[in-house]
Structure 1
Amino acid sequence: MKKPTYLLVIMLTLCIVAVGGYQSIFRTSQQAQLGLISNHDIELSLHCYQNTEAPQIDNKGQLNLTVWNIYKQNKSNWQESLTKLSQDKHLILIQEASMTDEFKQWIEQQGWFANLVDAFEVFDVAAGVLNLSASAPSKACAYTELEPWLRLPKSALYAVYPLSSGEELAVVNIHAVNFTYGTQEYSRQLKTLTDELSDHSGPIIVAGDFNSWSEERLVVMSAALSQLGLKEVVYQPDNRTQFITGLPLDHVFYRGLRLEKAEAPINDASDHNPILVNFRLTSD
């Protein structure tokens, strides 16, 4: 065998091994799937589900929120921190949730209702964005956008929760695409979600890890959400995790609610610091 041919065979063999190894580790779905965590298991359905008997999510007009990229629970103290951060909260929006048996057990013990967007599976363990609430939403839909370089999806969850005011709260939990050249995929992911929100007349919360590490991404993000009349939460203190550019990655936007308190405390249980926000219904 000639040397060039021999080298070509080696290169092709290495590529096949690499692709095979990649596919054995990561598994993705052709369509975004919504997961319901119950009885220590995940029941998957395609894209959306409806629940006509969902109760109100707020407590006498009070609506407390936690937003946190939990770093796939890679830090040993994630459970202690999440338990503390979830106290007195009505809604918890998590990014990079890894649905290990330990995490599913924690959800069951804490009594949360959980919805997951199954972005991909790593060694048969689902990962994606996760909503925790005291009860089920009236509607929930799953969305994914493929990372063009890594070829793994980033996920978002659109959910609707009844309020004691008689209105409905629309919530988007997003983990935005990250490794891209330009903002095409970033814009497309946001547009898909803002199109879903455009028909909603009540209060809205859009929150999560926006991967807003460039000025161009900030412009796209702000333009997309300002068209819906959303305002960005300001934090005191503001210890949100920043990229090397000095720009924060995590954000909370809202409409039709009264902001009472917002903070981003330092926490060593993830590579992101959490966001804690207290809202009150404007009709209260």
Structure 2
Amino acid sequence: MVPFIVPAKEKVLLKIGEAPKLPLASSQFDIFVWNVYKGQKAHLFEQDFKRLGENKDFIFLQEALLDQRMPAMWRSDFSAYEWHLAQSFHYKKDLSSTGVAIGSKLTPLSVDFIRSKTRELFWLTPKLTLFSEYSFGEKKALFVCTHVLNFVTLKAFTSSLYEIAEKISHFDGPVVLAGDFNTWNFKRYMIMKSIFRELGLEHLDLEDDGRILKLDHVFVRGFDVVKAKVHHTIVSSDHFPLEITLKL
């Protein structure tokens, strides 16, 4: 029996919390990106997440888990944030769900998602990409949090990236695209860079990058990059967190 349920499209998006109705203090802001491994290393994960996520303006999560613990942490320790989650699937055993999320100190102008047309081999689960549009004074920017297909053919992987690129192509302004791209070989890595380069997105080289396997990436367009680094000593997930400071 399949242990999960894929929600209907109208039930994919979920909101937790409310951002204050205030603009950001400046045009420079911090973004935190992390595949949190569903918070499986519970106590250690919570310590790292609270410490590294503190005071960030935007938080991009992959493998976020809506269980009893993670949303409670969002509501208490990140109560000034508005969280939007695109749910990939629900576990039948306890109805908890997992997916990609963006937490922000701004209320988005719009939130949307795409679900990969192909599903993972063996698990048969889809992957999600979340699109949030924000206003920075007279400028609008698109923030995209993605978790790309892993156990699929190279053709299916490439097609899933084009699905993301096609939606981004309809937006003319500044863009941040970040998440877990599952680029575990050189072909995947080069295909990823090529597809998003066509949209004018710059792939960021990260400071302190001690990763042997580089699965997580950040692309930007229309921003100055102040800082982009990897927290390569963190062991509370199977992915290292990324921290980026951008300026409009």
TM-score (structure 1 length as normaliser): 0.79
Does structure 1 retain, via aligned residues, the 8 Å contact 2:106–2:134?
no
User: Counterpart amino acid of 2:7?
Assistant: S
Q: What is the CA distance between 1:148 and its match in structure 2?
A: 3.7
Partner of 1:151: 124
Residue 214 (structure 1) shift: 1.4
Moved more, 125-134 or 185-194: 185-194
> Secondary structure of 2:164's match?
helix
Distance between the aligned counterparts of 2:121 and 2:21, measured in 1? Answer: 37
Q: Determine the structure 2 residue equivalent to 1:201.
A: 172
Specify which of 34, 40, 60 is matched with residue 26 of structure 2.
Answer: 60
Backbone CA RMSD of aligned residues: 1.8
> Which segments of 5 or more consecutive residues in structure 2 lack a partner in the other structure?
none
Return the letter of the residue paired with 2:87: D
**Counterpart in the other structure of 2:219:** 253
Give yes or no for contact 1:239–1:273 (8 Å, CA) kept in 2.
Answer: no
Q: Does 1:81 align with 2:53?
A: no
- The residue number in structure 1 matching 2:14 is 35
Q: Is the 8 A contact 1:55 1:162 kept in 2?
A: no
1:12-44 Cα distance to aligned partner (Å, 9 max, x none): xxxxxxxx2xx2x211124371111249xxxxx
Instruction: Determine the structure 1 residue equivalent to 2:101.
Output: 130
Q: 1:169 Cα shift?
A: 1.0
User: Could you tell me how far apart the structure 2 residues matched to 1:227 and 1:169 are?
Assistant: 18
**What does residue 92 of structure 1 align with?**
59
Letter of the 2:55 counterpart: D
TM-score for both structures, normalised by structure 2? 0.90
Matching residue of 2:203: 232
Instruction: Report the CA distance between 1:65 and its aligned residue.
Output: 0.4
- Please list every run of 5 or more consecutive structure 1 residues that lacks an aligned counterpart in the other structure: 1-19, 40-52
Hey, what's the Cα distance between the residues in 2 that align with 1:85 and 1:179?
30
Shift of 1:55: 5.7
Q: Which structure would you say has the larger Rg?
A: 1
Once the 2 structures are TM-superposed, how far is the Cα of residue 268 of structure 1 from its aligned partner? 1.3
CA contact (8 A) 2:29 2:56 kept: yes
Q: Percent identity?
A: 26
Question: Which whole-Å CA distance do the structure 1 matches of 2:224 and 2:151 have between them?
Answer: 35
The one-letter code sitting in structure 2 at the alignment partner of 1:170 is: L
- Look up the match of 1:118: 87
1:59 to partner: Cα distance: 2.9
